[in-house]
Amino acid sequence: MPTSWFFHHTADDPFAFPAGTGALKLRLFVPAGRQLSCTVIHSDRYDSPGSEQPLLMERIGSAGAYEIHEAVILTETGRCRYVFHAADPAGNYVWYGERGTAVNREHAGAFQYAYMHRPEALSLPSWSSGTVVYQIYPSSYNQGTLQGITDKIPYLQELGVTAIYMTPIFESPSEHKYNTSDYYRIDPAFGTAEDLKKLVEEAHRHGIRVLLDAVFNHAGDTFFAFRDVLEKGEESRYKDWFFIHSYPVSRQPVPTYETFAKAEAHMPKLNMDNPATADYMIAVAKHWVREAGIDGWRLDVANEVNPQFWTRLRRELKAEFPELLLIGEIMHASGPWLRGDQFDGGMNYVLREAVLEFFALQSAGPARFMEQLLHIEALYNDQANSAMFQLLGSHDTERFLTACKENGRGWDRQGTALARMKLAVFFQMTYIGIPMIYYGDEAGMEGATDPHCRKPMLWQEQDRNTGLFEWYKTLIALRKQHLILQNGAFRPWFTDEVRGVLGFVRRLEQDKIAVLINNSPNAYQLELNSIRSDKIVLTDLISGLTIRNAGKMIVELEPFGCMLLY
């Protein structure tokens, strides 16, 4: 019989999006706990009603109050009409379409995906799959120079990373370089344009890509255009490059112009609605790809810049450099920027909060952590998820090891901190997207937020945690060896709230790797359902231990232990 339940779907990203040539992926939110079976009825939108074909949707998992169901519709025309049918085990059912829920599909109406316009939305640089990124804060790395970074390329290759991202290196009076004076000149403290070319060449020779930081939301107050405004006021030809509130322009006591953040007088906000400003910055972005051969840009404060500028920048850069990776810095949910017309991916601070909560703070258990993973993944289409920088920390956050030492359950927080960080790294390297390592995390560096998280890199053997380095090295190598860990889908397996244990599966076609995490100081023996029927024995890729794989598996997990079963 018909019933009334709450559903959510829109015929738009991230609930409907291209998933390959002639493939449309649909995502449906349904109420949790109802054990609903969901089917999508679909056809070409010009076919006669009644000719639709049914397709059973896959239940992905629970994200708290709602469950996520997905299906991929195959369409030769790229034009889709569809409606959902949901039923519970008791026989209660409902139809759901763009007019809401109803007792039959005609009254529910049909969702329309009029045409799959953007094949480019599926296009990422061929090298981004399987990438592991290493973020460098240049003034705190080796000697604080580009040459110093170049000298450490063998170290980075040994670690296993395949890309480096450097915070700004262009001329600026500050140490952090986010208030740019000259976008066309490398800061003399770091070296020269020739040094950058040598760094990129050497990195490429070792199979490592190079991304730079672009600050197009604001410039520095020593930038030539702003200096002209300060000098000439309303007569300056560059006055429309900024948001000037009143003349004469004044920096103190309160700036008479818009700035980055709150009254940061040394960082005047750029007006990207002004064609001349946009032209200048797009020329900058092209220049360094042509001049130095860099492989991508990380765009600072991307959510505060007019999206039309990013659309133009992407179109022009990708037309000339299709293998360029564009990553937006957005410290909240960034779906609107990740729909194929602006950035390839973003810095996933939302995921970092969930990882911090589970491993470092231990203020949430496995059930909430798994719900958070599903919720965060559902914020984005598959392309964006595969290109997200999955970070534990950055130059703007507390060091993850410090967060572990200062938080967590029990009196022995310091004693379990390293083990919990190693678990977080294990999760990072076995999860979807692009893992991003903040320099020094692999050496056990500590520090509170800026400036303490930006201390000089530890190079002396006696100061470094060599065991942590080897852990990173092992996990990166495993990720590079197994395509499932690079490109496979994420699926929940189980959560054990009482024991603090969880499991998930990475799946690529019919191949699977199971991930087990024990975020607890206790050892546990678990009886688990098998995740694959095609293998009699599964091997833990970390320890080499073998486990008999029958209808049930007996798995023993050490305190704060983990397994990668294949």
Catalytic residue numbers read 300, 329
**CA geometry: angle at 151 spanning 167 and 139, to 5°?**
30
Rounded distance between C-alpha atoms, residue 295 and residue 200, angstroms: 9
Rounded distance between C-alpha atoms, residue 39 and residue 42, angstroms: 10
**Which of 444, 480, 450 is CA-nearest to residue 462?**
444
Phi, psi of 157 (to 5 degrees): -65, -40
Structure tokens at 26: 């649909």
With residue 202 as reference, give the H or E element that holds it: helix 193-205
Structure tokens at 257: 């112009």
Q: What secondary structure, in 3-state letters, does 133-182 show?
A: EEEECHHHCCCCCHHHHHHCHHHHHHHCCCEEEECCCEECCCCCCCCCCE
With residue 389 as reference, give the H or E element that holds it: strand 389-391
For residue 461, the number of C-alpha atoms closer than 13 Å in the C-beta half-sphere is 0
Contacts of 263 (CB under 8 A, 6+ apart): 254, 255
Measured in whole angstroms, the distance separating CA 355 from the mean position of its chain's CA atoms is 13
Rounded distance between C-alpha atoms, residue 189 and residue 139, angstroms: 8
**Which of 72, 81, 23, 21 is CA-nearest to residue 51?**
81
Contacts of 133 (CB under 8 A, 6+ apart): 161, 162, 163, 164, 165, 211, 389, 434, 435, 436, 437
Q: What is the end-to-end Cα distance of the chain in Å, rounded? A: 44
Residue 261 class from Cβ within 10 Å (0-12 exposed, 13-18 middle, 19+ buried)?
exposed
